[in-house]
Amino acid sequence: MISCEGHGVCADLVPEWIALDDWGYPLIREGAVPVPLLARVRWAVSNCPALALRLADT
């Protein structure tokens, strides 16, 4: 089940890593998040209103 509701908060917070498709749903880059972006990616995960994001340990 997909929890994302297309609020777009994540893409606003980390535009270098998350874009939005034509319907407002996130397009997230694959692979390890670069260290300089980690704090903002964590911020995006904790601020997703739908709790749809998760940062996995690699």
Among 10, 14, 33, 41, binds ligand SF4 (CB under 6 A): 10
Residue 18 CB burial class (10 angstroms; 0-12, 13-18, ≥19): buried
Q: Does residue 6 interact with ligand SF4 by CB under 6 A? A: yes
Measured CA to CA, the distance from residue 55 to residue 51 in angstroms comes to 11
Q: Does residue 21 interact with ligand SF4 by CB under 6 A? A: no
Q: Does residue 33 interact with ligand SF4 by CB under 6 A? A: no
Give Dmax over CA atoms of the chain in angstroms: 31
Residue numbers of the site for ligand SF4 (CB under 6 A)?
Answer: 4-10, 26, 48-50, 52-53
